[in-house]
Structure 1
Amino acid sequence: MVQADNPAAAAGSGQPESKGIRRPAGLRARFAPWLDWRRGWILAVLALLVAFLLAFHAEVPNAVGNVGSLLESFLPWLGLAVPVLLGLALWRRSALALAAVLMPAVIWLNLFGGLLTDKGSGKGDFTVLTHNVAAANSDPAGTLRLLNDSGAQIVALEELAAGAVPTYTKGLAAKYPYHVVEGTVGLWSSYPIGGVAVVDIRIGWTRAFRAEVTTPKGPLAVYVAHLPSVRVQFDGGFTAGRRDVSAQALGDAIEAEPLKKVLLMGDLNGTMNDRSLAPISAQMRSAHGAAGDGFGFSWPASFPMARIDQILSKGGLRPTDSRVLPADGSDHRAVAADYRY
């Protein structure tokens, strides 16, 4: 009698059960945690929060503690959350969290991915440099070597202590025969300087001026500025009010500049992502954003976390390279850029 269709007979026949019948169940058991959409939902929410802050940072209000500007000052660092969340999502075996982490990753790359490549296009017609040399500079001689070896034709210095001005004037005289100092900011140049005028940035003393530099290619309006410092305080938040007022005053002065080609160099105590610098950044182009390599962080010198030392231009000046120089005795690093007139 044929009993092949009898399950009981088949079970007692001594024939092994087909492994192909059990394998799908094993795979399902292995991947079941990944398919449980309840796993990792907290990680998914955190990933979406990071994505929101990256995509809509301009919507974060400044009304309380200037928190919006504080976020924008260190916005690139939000990218560090992506690998952390990715690792936790893999550990939790959560497909939901993995999918959510893709959002901040894509948005971050859209915002900052272009900074990871070198956009320089070679040597320009002249090189400019700006450096907050710090009133408490621990190595002025080293700073002078850095400046003299930089190859720059136009050098802007900020936070010049009155007693240090003769040291810099003497130490830079051989390469930079033209110079002007107004308050705590100064300009040294291989090219003639004229048309100097103090710019009132509404802080009660001089930390900005305008000068006309006559390059071999033609005249250039050069603004040197050191905007007021900002602080992060537990009781007051991001105290940037005075800087914001100064940024508006400086932006107004640059907008009214009669010369077409304009260069701004200095310590602006803010990044180009910070909305509060819009009176300046909306009308000028960042040398590092256009021709730099990497993030170009300049402060603090020991472990740079933000680019607050800026070189900006308008009127057809084309940056061909931008770079950050090695650390010296200052708490800032000098930044330099090449330009074609």
Structure 2
Amino acid sequence: MTQVDTEATTGQGAAGPRDTSTRRADIRRAIRALSRPAPWKRGPLLAALALLLGLVMLFHASVPNTGGLGSLVETMLPWFALFVPPLLAGALWRRSATAVVALLLPVTVWLNLFGGLLTDKSRSGGDLTLVSHNVGAGNPDPAGTARDLAASGADLLALEEITAQAKPQYEKALAKAYPHHTVLGTVGLWSKLPLSDTRSVDIEQDVGPLGEAKPEEVKLAYARALRTTVATDQGPLAVYVAHLGSVRVMPRNGFWTDSRDRNAQALAKAVAAERSERVVLLGDLNGTMDDRAFAGLTSQLRSVQEEAGSGFGFSWPAEFPVARIDQILVRGVRAESSWVLPATGSDHRPVAAAIGW
């Protein structure tokens, strides 16, 4: 009996189940490829977020300050860079060319704002070394903090938040290294050079809550800023030491900065009235120099960290600093270098600078 060759009869082999499923899979992949958006059309949300990030940084001065929002944004501006890596990861995962290109905006703006701080601008030398430190009202070891600060070799040492209980300990521990000092209220200056013309700078108000004039002893007891003259070989140097009001995050008021902003405006007026060509301001200003609240000061004085520092110079909180709220600002002198000292018993870290004439 003759067998019939089916393949020869039909001219082709019969398709098996596996071949059929493979063809179907190929068809599905082709359909998906045709229906998938092109790289320039993927990730529109990621692209929008990247553009928004860049625009907020670029126009941060235009962010409304309702509830302190504008000040909060400007305080945290350096940390906006942390949003870039997750956005980039999302763009690469989605294979979105649009999102990758959009990220160029925030990266460019951030580098324009802070790229200069990534380089070391310090120079060797300097005629005077300055240190400013909020020693902390709750400091458990004032004497130890004073010894650490004296070991820095600073010519001028400004302290803020000095309590009545801790004041004698600072005076005793610093007496040998600093023969000249003045303390008014909670701020003080220790100096290796003679001081004169010391006076309180009222950064609050000259009148009480009922409109009555504040007695002089009340002003001095609660003084948070002072002005003095340091006698140097190159002539007089006007030195201000200040501790501006605190800022708080409050449920109803948001980022509350009213006290600090009022103090900053008063201090800016005092500096504007200063007749000395050479001026130094040291203190805990409770804010970064990017904050619009300090426009009155930054229009007159330069930040030593921006001029001669390396990095951001964050000083608070001491355990893991995230912002530079302790400042050294100058006018009429040249900043040679700026750095941050190791932590003491305070919740702030000391900041230091060398200046030249």
TM-score, normalised by the number of residues in structure 2: 0.85
Q: Counterpart in 2 of 1:307?
A: 324
1:33, 1:94 within 8 Å by CA — same for their partners in 2?
no
2:143, 2:170 within 8 Å by CA — same for their partners in 1?
no
Q: Counterpart in 1 of 2:67?
A: 65
Deviation at 1:145, TM superposition (A): 2.6
1:189 counterpart = 2:156: no
Provide closer, same or farther for how the CA distance between residues 30 and 308 of structure 1 changes in structure 2, counting only shifts above 3 A: farther
Q: Counterpart in 1 of 2:132?
A: 130
Deviation at 1:327, TM superposition (A): 1.0
Q: Which runs of 5+ in 2 are unaligned?
A: 1-11, 13-28, 206-218
Q: Counterpart in 1 of 2:215?
A: none
Q: Counterpart in 2 of 1:98?
A: 100
Alignment of 1:130-209 (within 5 A): 130-202=132-204, 205-209=222-226
CA distance in 1, matches of 2:237, 2:60: 35
- Percent of counterpart pairs with the same letter? 56
Residue 176 of structure 1 aligns with an amino acid whose one-letter code is: Y
- How many equivalent residue pairs? 313
Provide closer, same or farther for how the CA distance between residues 191 and 60 of structure 1 changes in structure 2, counting only shifts above 3 A: same
Which segment is superposed worse, 198-207 or 266-275?
A: 198-207
**CA-to-aligned-CA distance 1:191-226 (integer Å, 9 cap, x gap):** 001100110101673100100001222210000000
Residue 328 of structure 1 aligns with an amino acid whose one-letter code is: T
Residue 217 of structure 1 aligns with an amino acid whose one-letter code is: Q
CA distance in 2, matches of 1:319, 1:34: 55
Deviation at 1:142, TM superposition (A): 3.1
Provide closer, same or farther for how the CA distance between residues 102 and 207 of structure 1 changes in structure 2, counting only shifts above 3 A: same
1:339 counterpart = 2:355: yes
Q: Counterpart in 1 of 2:256?
A: 239
CA distance in 1, matches of 2:37, 2:234: 64
3-state DSSP of counterpart to 2:78: helix
1:136, 1:330 within 8 Å by CA — same for their partners in 2?
yes
Deviation at 1:78, TM superposition (A): 0.4
3-state DSSP of counterpart to 2:288: coil
Residue 81 of structure 1 aligns with an amino acid whose one-letter code is: F
Tell me how large the CA RMSD over aligned residues is. Answer: 1.8
Residue 56 of structure 2 aligns with an amino acid whose one-letter code is: L
Residue 40 of structure 1 aligns with an amino acid whose one-letter code is: G
The structure number with the bigger radius of gyration is 2
Deviation at 1:241, TM superposition (A): 1.0
Q: Counterpart in 1 of 2:59?
A: 56
CA distance in 2, matches of 1:162, 1:239: 28
1:284 to 301, 321, 345: 301
1:40 counterpart = 2:43: yes
3-state DSSP of counterpart to 1:99: helix
Deviation at 1:151, TM superposition (A): 1.5
2:272 to 242, 255, 265: 255
**CA-to-aligned-CA distance 1:21-63 (integer Å, 9 cap, x gap):** xxxxx9xx9999683433211111111111011100000011x
Q: Which runs of 5+ in 1 are unaligned?
A: 1-11, 13-25
Alignment of 1:14-29 (within 5 A): none
3-state DSSP of counterpart to 2:64: coil
**CA-to-aligned-CA distance 1:91-120 (integer Å, 9 cap, x gap):** 111111111111101110111011001001
